[in-house]
Chains A and B, each alone.
Chain A
């Protein structure tokens, strides 16, 4: 089945230690999104790629970076995680910015 896959499902890191979260998709969608979702809160869009074009949300901290080496893969890099970065990180894809977004299962990040 076509799907959005996120690895790892759970990630524990230390305060200030860089961490990379991975997303891959078999849907061949042009657009890939990264969201941050804290407990009992709405998902918050961090940035998205339309093909190789990167779009950063104005309030996304510089600590968060992203890479998309090809259509199938997208990475979220957190350069120096703080305690406030502990959250669920959701990857989503869509065939265009006007189309429905499909979410992966998420990576739950814990910062010690």
Chain B
């Protein structure tokens, strides 16, 4: 079983739609959760960073963590064509001295006008 599972999509939605992206993870020691956005042929860009369970909102983006079910989500409200990218979830444990991030394989999102 992989440490982090993420449906690769592709996901295609019209402009203005609410997008829900999800990952599951297997290790209960994971405490830090991240979402990266990666445009085609570019490096990942940090979008959201959360610690433990709960919600975090930043503009049109909301990150949600449910540690009881080992489930993490990213919601995008009022989606725009510029949101078209691959979204990678990532996580790590608190005690890691190596700083290793465990990534999902990414979900490819297309928002059409």
Residues of A within 8 A of B (CB): 4, 6, 31, 33, 40-43, 45, 48, 55, 88, 90, 92, 94, 96-106, 108
Q: Is the interface of B mostly helix, strand, loop or mixed?
A: loop
Within 8 Å by CB of A97, from B4, B46, B97, B106, lies: B97
Contact, CB under 8 Å: A48 / B99: yes
If A42-B4, A45-B100, A48-B98 touch, does A102 touch B105 (CB 8 Å cutoff)? no
Contact, CB under 8 Å: A100 / B41: no
Interface residues on B, range: 20 to 34
Residues of B within 8 A of A (CB): 4, 6, 8, 34, 36, 41-46, 49, 88, 94, 96-101, 103-106, 108
Alpha-carbon gap, A48 to B97, bound state (A): 12
Contact, CB under 8 Å: B43 / A105: yes
Alpha-carbon gap, A96 to B92, bound state (A): 13
Contact, CB under 8 Å: B45 / A45: no
